[in-house]
């Protein structure tokens, strides 16, 4: 069984013990991850703190290191991608895309030109609005996109001049540990540390006095715990949390044409995307047509072995999530919903669920009100657009949303009324490094990506001086 190493102060390290990481497509152990001890975390954070002043000093050296990191990961794409597939279950080409995504984010931040902000209140005074790095950043990632979501943190954090301690989810630590291994000689010791362990390791990372910023992606409940822990000494936080995105189809939409993009945005990564479509609102008169079009795609979808080139969708990524998704489907069926496609697990081994389209399902059912985070989409009939908007916004989630119509202006005027951080017209998903991304209400605090994402890893300093 392959065992992987952490990266602490520039050295490859194991813990006192290892824990097995399961392949969700086979239920076999894919590899062994070290369990970071509290003493080792201390070493990582102290090393990051020690490395900070030197790393913060030279912007060109940082850009150069980020570019070299992107090149090294691109060279190792096959090795990292196949390990990522073995722990997440995502198809191989999707895993490779994720590795390329990390390289893309690193390159974007290496190349980003930061605007200078100068204010001249008078002839004799110049005010420079500057940015200073914060220090040690704790970066904590979830299991659905372990690599690219980590890079949304470490690429801007490092570029801004901070040092980083990164922790992947205990369900999917292996590819992240391999990334640390590939990058071990690119960054000076202590600049990037990668540790692995269970949830308690995360809580140590959010309460350590040397950490000045916590960047967290995960569930809302954990996000609240992270915010509480960070508040004790006013660490800055960025929280990217769960979503329950609504898509509203307007009465003028060409349902059959749009169903392909809607299906893709609901079922990408087997529905395990924070900003996937999770509730689909359709005018009652168009509901049958939409359900039929989506059910056709769901039945045609190739679900299976992620190592097979033909596979479009792999399993749900871990057993607790598999049980939760099946529980939500069963509950909806018991409440009177109909599965127009799917509705059941697929024969094992592996945590496979047939892509499921639910109709006759109503607000109040957990599959509608809560984030399902799996391959099941409830189709919800509405009679009046104001009613659809009220229902779409009637939640504490506020990550993304979309409106679908043949009239783009009309759709945009509805989209801006959605209470969410990102709103799309005639699409949903498709995240890019240069656009900020974040949630409102319980879906998060702060944003990642773009210049604003970089700013989240720095403090403002305003320098007043004689001209
Ligand atoms: P999770 O909250 O269970 O775990 C996320 C990470 O937090 C893991 O590394 C975990 O070990 C760690 N952790 C757990 N308890 C902790 C604590 N008390 N202190 C510090 N760290 C702790 O989430 P998950 O199940 O891994 O991920 C799925 C969730 O993430 C979904 O809700 C999804 O919507 C959300 N998500 C959000 C975004 C976004 O950008 N908004 C992106 C992807 C996923």
Which one of the listed residues 32, 43, 240, 371 is annotated catalytic? 240
Task: Report yes or no: 198 and 223 within 8 Å, Cβ to Cβ.
Answer: no
Give CATH 3.40.605.10 domain extents, the chain: 6-241+441-466
CA–CA dist 347, 25 (Å, integer): 11
pLDDT at 80: 98
Of the CA atoms within 13 Å of residue 459, those in its CB half-sphere come to 13
Residue carrying the six token digits 């792999």: 314
- Cα–Cα distance between 167 and 117 in angstroms, integer? 34
Q: What are the tens digits of pLDDT across the range 285-319?
A: 999 999 999 999 999 999 999 999 999 999 999 99
pLDDT in tens, 190-245: 999 999 999 999 999 999 999 999 999 999 999 999 999 999 999 999 999 999 99
Residue owning the nearest CA to atom 19 of ligand 1: 203
Burial class (CB in 10 A: 0-12, 13-18, 19+), 390: exposed
Confidence of residue 449 (pLDDT cuts 50, 70, 90): very high
pLDDT of 78 > 90? The answer is yes
Q: What is the b/e burial string over 95-133, where b = at least 16 CB atoms within 10 angstroms of the residue's CB?
A: bbebbbbbbbbbbbbbebeeeeeeeeeeeeeebeeebeb
Q: Is the pTM of this model over 0.75?
A: yes
Is 90 exceeded by the pLDDT of residue 115?
A: no
Q: For 50, how many CA atoms within 13 A lie in the half-sphere containing its CB?
A: 13
Average pLDDT over residues 137-155: 98
Note the pLDDT of residue 52: 98
The yes-or-no answer on residue 36 being catalytic is: no
Active-site position among 274, 287, 419, 420? 274
* pLDDT value of residue 106: 98
Q: CATH 3.40.309.10 in the chain, residues?
A: 245-425
Per-residue pLDDT, 231: 97
CATH 3.40.309.10 fits 245-425, yes or no: yes
d(CA 445, CA 439): 7
Q: pLDDT tens-digit profile of 363-416? A: 999 999 999 999 999 999 999 999 999 999 999 999 999 999 999 999 999 999
Query: What CATH code is assigned to 6-241+441-466?
Result: 3.40.605.10
Q: What is the mean pLDDT of residues 268-278?
A: 98
The pLDDT assigned to 271 comes to: 98
CA distance 361 to 11: 53
Instruction: Judge whether 274 counts as a catalytic residue.
Output: yes
pLDDT higher than 90, residue 430: no
The residue-averaged pLDDT of 21-49 equals: 98
Tokens, residue 416: 């801006």
Q: Kindly report the average pLDDT of the chain as a whole number.
A: 97
Output the residue whose Cα is nearest ligand 1's atom 14: 199
Q: What is the pLDDT of residue 73?
A: 98
Ligand 1 pocket, Cβ-based, cut-off 6 angstroms: 140-144, 149, 167, 169-170, 199, 202-203, 206, 217-219, 222, 225-226, 240-243, 274, 371, 373, 399, 439, 444
Nearest C-alpha neighbor of 261 from the set 153, 404, 106, 440: 404
């Amino acid at each position: 069984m392959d065992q992987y190493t952490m990266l602490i102060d520039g050295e490859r390290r194991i813990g006192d013990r290892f824990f097995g990481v399961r392949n969700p497509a086979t239920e076999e152990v894919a590899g062994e991850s070290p369990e970071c001890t509290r003493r080792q975390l201390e070493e990582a954070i102290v090393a990051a703190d020690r490395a900070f002043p030197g790393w913060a000093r030279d912007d060109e050296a940082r850009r150069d290191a980020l570019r070299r990191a992107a090149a090294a990961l691109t060279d190792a794409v096959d090795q990292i991608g196949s390990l990522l597939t073995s722990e997440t279950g995502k198809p191989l080409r999707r895993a490779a895309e994720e590795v390329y995504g990390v390289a893309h984010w690193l390159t974007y931040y290496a190349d980003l030109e930061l605007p200078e902000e100068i204010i001249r209140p008078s002839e004799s005074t110049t005010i420079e609005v500057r940015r200073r790095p914060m220090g040690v950043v704790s970066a904590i990632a979830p299991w659905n996109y372990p690599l690219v979501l980590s890079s949304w943190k470490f690429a801007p954090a490092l570029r801004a001049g901070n040092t980083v301690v990164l922790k992947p989810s205990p369900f999917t630590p292996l590819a992240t540990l391999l990334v640390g291994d590939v990058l071990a000689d690119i960054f000076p010791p202590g600049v990037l540390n990668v540790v692995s362990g269970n949830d308690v390791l995360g809580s140590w990372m959010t309460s350590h006095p040397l950490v000045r910023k916590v960047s967290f992606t995960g569930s809302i409940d954990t996000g609240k715990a992270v915010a509480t822990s960070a508040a004790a000494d006013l660490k800055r936080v960025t929280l990217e949390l769960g979503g329950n995105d609504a898509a509203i189809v307007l009465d003028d939409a060409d349902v059959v044409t749009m169903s392909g993009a809607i299906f893709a945005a609901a079922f990408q990564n087997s529905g395990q995307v924070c900003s996937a479509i999770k509730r689909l609102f359709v005018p009652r008169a168009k509901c049958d047509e939409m359900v039929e079009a989506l059910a056709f795609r769901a039945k045609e979808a190739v679900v299976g072995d992620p190592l097979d080139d033909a596979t479009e969708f792999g399993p749900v990524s871990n057993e607790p999530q598999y049980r939760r998704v099946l529980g939500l489907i069963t509950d909806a069926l018991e409440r009177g919903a109909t599965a127009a496609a799917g509705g059941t697990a697929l024969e094992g081994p592996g945590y496979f669920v047939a892509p499921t389209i639910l109709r006759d399902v109503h607000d109040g059912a957990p599959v509608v009100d809560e984030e399902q985070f799996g391959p099941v989409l409830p189709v919800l009939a509405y009679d009046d657009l104001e009613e659809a908007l009220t229902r779409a916004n009637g939640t504490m989630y506020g990550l993304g949303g979309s409106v679908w119509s043949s009239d783009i202006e009309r759709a945009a005027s509805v989209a801006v009324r959605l209470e969410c951080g990102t709103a799309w017209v005639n699409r949903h998903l498709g995240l890019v490094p240069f656009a900020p991304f974040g949630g409102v209400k319980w879906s998060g605090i702060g944003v990642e990506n773009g210049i604003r994402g970089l700013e989240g890893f720095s403090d403002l300093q305003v320098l007043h001086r004689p001209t």
